[in-house]
Structure 1
Amino acid sequence: MRPLFALAIFGVAFFFIATEKADKVKVVLIGAAAMLVLGLAPGTEVFFSEHEGIDWNVIFLLLGMMIVIGIIKQTGVFDYLGIWAAKRSRGEPYRLMVMLMIITAVASPFLDNVTTIMLVAPVTIVVCERLKIAPQPYLIAEVLASNIGGAATLIGDPPNIIIGSRAGLSFNDFLVHMTPIVVIVFVLFVILSRFLFRKGLKHNPEQVQAVLALQEKRAIRDPWLLVRCLVVLAVMIAAFSLHSVLHLEPSLVALIGAGVMVLVAKADVPEVLREVEWGTLVFFVGLFVMVSGLTHTGVIESIGDWAVAAIGDRYLLAATALLFGSGILGAFFDNIPYVATMTPVVEGVVEQAPDHRTGQSLWWAFALGADFGGNGTAVAASANVVALGIASRSGHHISFWQFTRYGVVVTVFSMVLAWGYVWLRYFV
């Protein structure tokens, strides 16, 4: 009965989040409270357990980067980039979208997709406000691009860090095995986006002329503050990229960077903290607690065990099930706790593989499904939730279904291409 109660609570909460009949933060807090009161989540262990608790690495990574972005925002650099991008694209909607998607996809493998969205989303909103056009299509396209691009490296998407640690896969392993299909999917996604977002790409010629007349250099309010902030940010990016050498979690890098940024900028702390998306952080905490209920009651493990039994020694079927199964399940559960929960199950299947190549193919199928499945719904990946929070705070609300109707198409498209890649590379 306990698994059924956990499923019922999660299902009801997901219904209210998807239909937006109630505030999503209230929903996850009530759902988390129900899991804890009924003993479905692991009590106080939810604050400490690595596999059945809140992923504090994600929470503190977000907190640190929100503080960093809040300070950088004071320099006026986002206004500068917004004017620059608008002028370079000459206000042509599709060209502007492609520019922003390329920036996002190229940065995501090295910064991680959450950090990239936190940097690019404010720029996008500034650009669109200058051009008097709706930013929602551009923000959605960027999030989809970030989840695709982030799949390319060990540090680009949080699930990859979890998988790499458990499977003993290096940064170079991800480059060799994941980057080729990521490049293919992204290039085709850029082409697809012209048709996918065609109704939302509006042109405003009168406003374009006004923007072209602006001088972006005047947007920088404090050049020396910008220099100091960029130096700190560059060091943080280097630390993110050297994760396997420094053995510093991205969350620690973000928190240390935030502290240094506050010091070098001589920032007013209360003002900086007002820039933090507290609602987004609380939403993640509640969501982690609800997923811990599914984990603690054995729901997700039962699904995994059933899958292992059904697959047997048919390893192409196993790769297919991992890829599509992770994409589908990952669309409904945040892919970070989902991957953390399912990794031991995948490890058990890999141990039964007849050779190293076959075993590795299962890890790559799992990673591709989890990463690309992050585009499935508005709550499927951390970057999605962060982007929607930034948009809402800026007065440009993106609904669950507005995001999801694009995300589902891109997810199916990406997973079909990924399956073809896995089949050709590891089984033909």
Structure 2
Amino acid sequence: MSTALAVVVFVVAYLLIATERVHKTVAALAGAGIVLGLGILDSEQAFYSRDTGIDWDVIFLLLGMMIIVGVLRRTGVFEYTAIWAAKRAKGSPLRVMILLVLITAVASAFLDNVTTVLLIAPVTLLVCERLGVNPVPFLIAEVFASNIGGTATLIGDPPNIIIGSRAGLSFNDFLVHLTPIVIVVLIVFTVVLPWLFRGSFTADPDRVAGVMALNEREAIQDTTLLIKCGLVLAAVFTGFVGHAAFHIAPSVVALLGAGILVLITGSAPRHYLASVEWETLLFFAGLFVMVGALIQTGVIANLARLATDATGGNALLAVLLILFVSAPLSGIIDNIPYVATMSPLVADLSTQIADPGHAQALWWALALGADFGGNLTAIGASANVVVLGIAKRAGTPITFWEFTRKGAIVTLITVALAAPYLWLRYFVLG
């Protein structure tokens, strides 16, 4: 009975999240409350168990990085970077798009992609207004770049944080295994930009001259604060890269960095707490509890056995199946709840594959499928939803299908590149 109840609660909450009938945080918390109220999970299992409980490492890693970015936002460094890029592009809309895409991709690898687009999108609107071009193609391209670039690291995309925590994968593991394919994909994506957004690169010459007259240095609001943020961020990234040697979890590194930055800058709580996405953190908590109920009742283990039977124990088939299933489902549903649901299944499936390299490839297939698949539709990733909201408030709305027409092409290209990479690296060369 408890198994059926856990499935029903999860499916209903999932449908509400996917269709946006109810705010995703409300749906997740309501589902978690029902699971606890029905006794499918008790408080020990929901709050303290590593297998079935809330993954606090994920929650506090996100919290720490959000606080750091909240302080960094006040320096104006992101505005400086965008204006600098526009001037270095000599006002050419195509070159502006390419530079902003590259900046977004790199930034998304070291900040979460939602934070990156929150900071880059408003500046993009300003630059496009100055150039007299439609900002919609630029915003869409930046979202794609953010989801691609965020794939490269543990902290770049929320699904990676979940995968890293569940599989015990370090910041360096993501750098070594995913950065090579991300670089290849980013190069290909940059090459197809003129074709993908053809007809979007005609600018007003008078407005181009206006952009060239901007002084990017005026965007920096506090040089001293910028220096302090730079030092703390350098220390935090060092901690991420060497956390295994230092024996400090990434979540602790992020919280220490946030605490030190707040302390040395004397930032007021209203400044850095305003950047904390409490709804996202609560959404994660509720989702973890609902997924924990599926684990506790054996639903995930049964699905893993079915997946094993479907692949006949063939590791390559399992890897490709995860990749090609994850991309469309992540795009249709949202890659965060999808990965939260799939990660315990992949964990169980990986224990049934003898070769450690082949077993780990399952996790990389999940990450690539979910992260690249997030570009498929307007609701495939949190960054997509954020940018659509910014565009609507700015009076240049992006429709669901306008985004999806381009997203389907990008997803097809990126997944098509990921498949041979997984095969070559882990089954031919590995």
For the aligned pair, the TM-score class normalised by the smaller chain equals: 0.7 to 0.9
Identity of aligned residues (%): 48
Which residue of 1 is the match for residue 417 of structure 2?
Answer: 417
Which residue of 2 is the match for residue 69 of structure 1?
Answer: 69
Q: In 1, Cα distance between the equivalents of 2:13 and 2:289?
A: 10
Q: CA RMSD in A?
A: 3.7
How many residue pairs get matched? 419
Q: 1:348 to 1:398 in 2, by over 3 A?
A: farther
Q: Deviations over 1:363-400 (max 9, x none)?
A: 54344334433444556556556666777888887676
Q: Which runs of 5+ in 1 are unaligned?
A: none
1:242: Cα distance to partner?
A: 2.1
Aligned partner of 1:126 among 123, 128, 131: 123
Q: Is the 8 A contact 1:330 1:380 kept in 2?
A: yes
With the length of structure 1 as denominator, give the TM-score of the two structures.
0.81
Q: 1:305 to 1:260 in 2, by over 3 A?
A: same
1:417: Cα distance to partner?
A: 2.0
1:121: Cα distance to partner?
A: 3.6
Amino acid at match of 1:118: T
Q: In 1, Cα distance between the equivalents of 2:376 and 2:174?
A: 22
Please list, as runs of the form range in 1=range in 2, the aligned pairs for 1:27-426 lying within 5 A after superposition. Answer: 27-39=27-39, 43=43, 45-109=45-109, 111=110, 114=112, 117-119=114-116, 121-132=118-129, 137-153=137-153, 156-157=156-157, 177-198=177-198, 203=203, 205-331=205-331, 332=333, 333-334=335-336, 336-338=339-341, 340-351=343-354, 355=355, 358-359=358-359, 361-377=361-377, 380-381=380-381, 405-426=405-426
Q: In 1, Cα distance between the equivalents of 2:279 and 2:54?
A: 16
1:277: Cα distance to partner?
A: 2.9
Q: In 2, Cα distance between the equivalents of 1:260 and 1:390?
A: 31
Amino acid at match of 1:148: I
- Which range is displaced more, 141-150 or 129-138? 129-138
With the length of structure 2 as denominator, give the TM-score of the two structures.
0.80
Amino acid at match of 2:244: S
Amino acid at match of 1:343: V
Q: In 2, Cα distance between the equivalents of 1:405 and 1:396?
A: 17
Amino acid at match of 1:128: L
Secondary structure, aligned partner of 1:74: helix
Q: In 2, Cα distance between the equivalents of 1:247 and 1:119?
A: 28
1:84: Cα distance to partner?
A: 1.4
Aligned partner of 1:9 among 5, 8, 12: 12
Secondary structure, aligned partner of 2:351: helix
Q: Deviations over 1:4-61 (max 9, x none)?
A: 41343134313432xxx44444444444444444445655633333333333333322
Q: In 1, Cα distance between the equivalents of 2:134 and 2:371?
A: 28
- Which range is displaced more, 64-73 or 334-343? 334-343
Q: Is the 8 A contact 1:316 1:427 kept in 2?
A: yes
Q: In 2, Cα distance between the equivalents of 1:71 and 1:164?
A: 26
Q: Is the 8 A contact 1:91 1:131 kept in 2?
A: no
Q: In 2, Cα distance between the equivalents of 1:40 and 1:406?
A: 42
Amino acid at match of 1:126: V
Q: Is the 8 A contact 1:53 1:292 kept in 2?
A: yes
Q: Which runs of 5+ in 2 are unaligned?
A: none
